[in-house]
Structures are given as structure tokens and as C-alpha cells.
Amino acid sequence: MIHNTAIIDPSAKIANDVHIGPYSVIGPNVEIGEGTWIGPHVVIQGPCRIGAHNKIYQFSSVGEAPQDLKFKGEETFLEMGDRNIVREFCTINRGTAQDNSMTRIGNDNLFMAYVHIAHDCVIGNHNIFANNASLAGHVILEDYITLGGFSGVFQFCRIGSHSFIATNSVVIKDVPPFVKVSGYYAKPFGLNTVGLQRRGFSDDTILQLRRAYKVIYRNSLTVPQALEELQKVSCPEVSQMAQFISLSNAGIVR
């Protein structure tokens, strides 16, 4: 299942049923799990571990050295989980020694064409990156997040679960869970209601989150005052939102 024009380094560990297409290059210290499909003209460099049942399409570059002038060839890593889809011309870089030396990607993510994931990013599960969405270095994404086409996230930002980043948005602050943002620079535009409904959140939970959003963004409260109000609400999702905000170092979009 490996095309005879593919170039495979002898140190690469490749499961027996992995498909590797024509003219792809698999470098040293690369591990690829079972059921993974690598298209033609893909370059994967190590140290890099790719899990099971991923699909990586043509002209993508996975596990290449970080685009960081501080990088001096140190051993750094990329880990990718299972069932991810990496479409054409995506670039996913390894970490740097200035952070944890690791770029980490979870499971069941979709990276559409031309997506860029920079060094030291940590990406959770079930996220969707539309075409040309880009993450700068050291960005943390939680789960079930949608990034619209041509959107970008600044270094060291955190994006909370079930949030939505609109097309052409530039995010320079943390985005709390469940919130929809848009603009250059991104500002909050209500809850990600459609996403929450599609994922089966109850009407009561969505109502509680709407009230929490108003406390944070509509009641002219400072962040500490808003957090004090949110602590009075008995709802796990509201508590999740409050905890995210309390841990924010960059500050949240306002």
C-alpha cells in the first residue's frame, strides 16, 4: 500500500495497512498508526507521531520545523491523534524548546485547504478549520470550535469549547466557551446558538448561557463583578464559562 515512488526513511514506523501515495516523503522518526491514508506529494517530518485512521491530502506539510527564528534545530515534536482530516496545502509545524517542545492535535478535527497550525499549538477534538484559517504559535483550542475561512488567532490566545470564529476575523484575546465572535479585531456577537442546538444542548442550558452572556457583556460590569454574579448560577456550562474567564491571562474579547 506504499507507492514505489514514495521515499520512506528507514527509521519511520508505519503500520501495515497505511496507504502512502506517489512521491510522498516520510522522514526520520515518524510514526504512523493503522488505517491512515497519506495522499500523493505529502511531506511528513519527525519527530512526529500520527495516530490511527487519519487522512492527509496532497501537498500538505506535517511535522516540519517551526517558523520561528529562535529555533536552532532542537529536538521538538508533533503529536496527532486519530481520525483527523488534513486537506490540501495544510502546514502543521512542530513545537519549540521555548514552550513544551510539542505541537499537539487531538481527534476528529477537520483542517480544510491551506490551514496553518504554528508551533506549540494545542488543539482538542472535533474542531473545524475552514479554508485558510491560521493559528499563530502557542494557541490553545478546546473542543467543538469552528474557525471561519481566512480567520486568524494571535499568539498565546485560548479559544473555549463550542465557540465560533467568523470568517475574516482576527482574534487577539481569549474567546470564552459558547461565544460567537467576528471582526478585525474580533468582538463578541452573542452565543453560538446554532452550534449549541446542533450538539444537543437543552433549551434551559442555552437560556442560562444567554443570561450569563448578558452578565459578562451587557450589564456594564467589570470582569471580577461578572464572575461574582456567575458564581451564583447553578449550571455546569455557566461554571465552565466562568472558570475559563478566571484563568485568562490575555484577557477576553470585549
DSSP string over 80-126: E-SS-EE-TT-EEE---TTTTSEEEE-SS-EE-TT-EE-TT-EE-SS
Q: Which phi and psi angles does 207 have, rounded to 5°?
A: -65, -45
Would residue 156 count as lying in a domain? no
Domains in the chain: how many in total?
2
Domain end, chosen from 104, 121, 138, is at: 138
Residues 122 and 42 in one domain: yes
Of the CA atoms within 13 Å of residue 89, those in its CB half-sphere come to 7
Q: Which three cell numbers stand for residue 16?
A: 501495515
Would residue 59 count as lying in a domain? yes
Is residue 251 among the annotated active site residues? no
Residues 17 and 133 in one domain: yes
**pLDDT at residue 122, as a whole number:** 98
Spatial CA neighbour of 119 closest among 100, 106, 133: 100
pLDDT of 5-15, one tens digit each? 999 999 999 99
Would residue 47 count as lying in a domain? yes
Residues 131 and 15 in one domain: yes
Per-residue pLDDT band for 119 (boundaries 50, 70, 90) equals: very high
**pLDDT at residue 175, as a whole number:** 98
Spatial CA neighbour of 38 closest among 26, 62, 20: 20
**What pTM did the predictor assign?**
0.96
CB-based contacts of 10, cutoff 8 Å, min separation 6? none
Residues 132 and 204 in one domain: no
**pLDDT at residue 83, as a whole number:** 98
Would residue 174 count as lying in a domain? no
Write down the catalytic residue from 27, 68, 119, 138: 119
Would residue 27 count as lying in a domain? yes
Per-residue pLDDT band for 17 (boundaries 50, 70, 90) equals: very high
Residues 134 and 240 in one domain: no
Would residue 151 count as lying in a domain? no
Assess contact for 3 and 21: CB atoms under 8 A: yes
Would residue 203 count as lying in a domain? yes
Domain end, chosen from 101, 120, 138, is at: 138
Residues 28 and 108 in one domain: yes
Would residue 161 count as lying in a domain? no
Handedness of CA 67, 143, 163, 237 (dihedral sign): negative
Domain end, chosen from 138, 160, 182, is at: 138
Helices (H), the chain: 193-198, 203-217, 223-230, 236-246
User: Which residues partner with 164 through β-bridges?
Assistant: 146, 180
Assess contact for 52 and 35: CB atoms under 8 A: yes
Write down the catalytic residue from 39, 99, 106, 120: 120
Spatial CA neighbour of 88 closest among 43, 23, 126: 43
Structural domain span for residue 239: 197-246
CATH number, domain containing residue 129: 2.160.10.10
Write down the catalytic residue from 39, 63, 124, 137: 137
CATH number, domain containing residue 230: 1.20.1180.10
Is residue 137 among the annotated active site residues? yes
Residues 36 and 114 in one domain: yes
pLDDT of 80-105, one tens digit each? 999 999 999 999 999 999 999 999 99
Per-residue pLDDT band for 22 (boundaries 50, 70, 90) equals: very high
Residues 133 and 33 in one domain: yes
Residues 15 and 132 in one domain: yes
Residues 128 and 11 in one domain: yes
Assess contact for 169 and 187: CB atoms under 8 A: no
Residues 21 and 121 in one domain: yes
Residues 201 and 129 in one domain: no
Give percent above pLDDT 70 in the chain.
100
Is residue 162 among the annotated active site residues? no
